[in-house]
Amino acid sequence: MKTVPYAGIRIVAGALAAAWCAYVFVTEGGALSDLAGIVFFAAGWVVARRFGRPVGLSGARPWLDTVLPIALAAFAVAPAALYPFLGQIAIAPTAAVFVLFFAGMSFSLGLGPYANVKVALAR
């Protein structure tokens, strides 16, 4: 095999992530976390379509290397930032909302015009 099947990997990874998130929302989530998950999935889809470009054209780092550190920092800060407004934070639904952002990106890239190439975020 000379090429990496990026589209298949992205779609399978997105489906597994979305399935885990659905399980978390059914068992532990509420209406607010469900709505936030849908919004974050859509945001991930839009970000990938708007800013995803092949690495060869831009010379930028692959999108996962670019976005993952930012998402991990946001996930670490989110419970503390939301606590004053909600009073109680459940970690699993909060994680599921952030994971859905990446699931949306993964599906968008896997089904988009750059499905089988290494992709970076670029302007």
Query: Got the DSSP string for 82-119?
Result: HHHHHS---HHHHHHHHHHHHHHHHHHHHHSTTTTS-E
32: Cα separation from own chain's centroid: 18
Per-residue pLDDT of the chain (123 residues; tens, 9 = 90+): 577 788 898 899 899 999 999 999 999 878 888 899 999 999 999 998 998 888 876 666 776 666 777 777 777 777 777 777 777 777 888 888 988 998 999 899 889 888 888 888 777
Q: Which pLDDT does position 56 carry in this prediction?
A: 75
pTM: 0.79
Position 89 scores a pLDDT of 72
What integer pLDDT is reported at residue 22 of this predicted model?
93
Q: Which residues contact 96 (CB under 8 A, 6 or more apart)?
A: 20, 21, 24, 25, 29, 33, 37
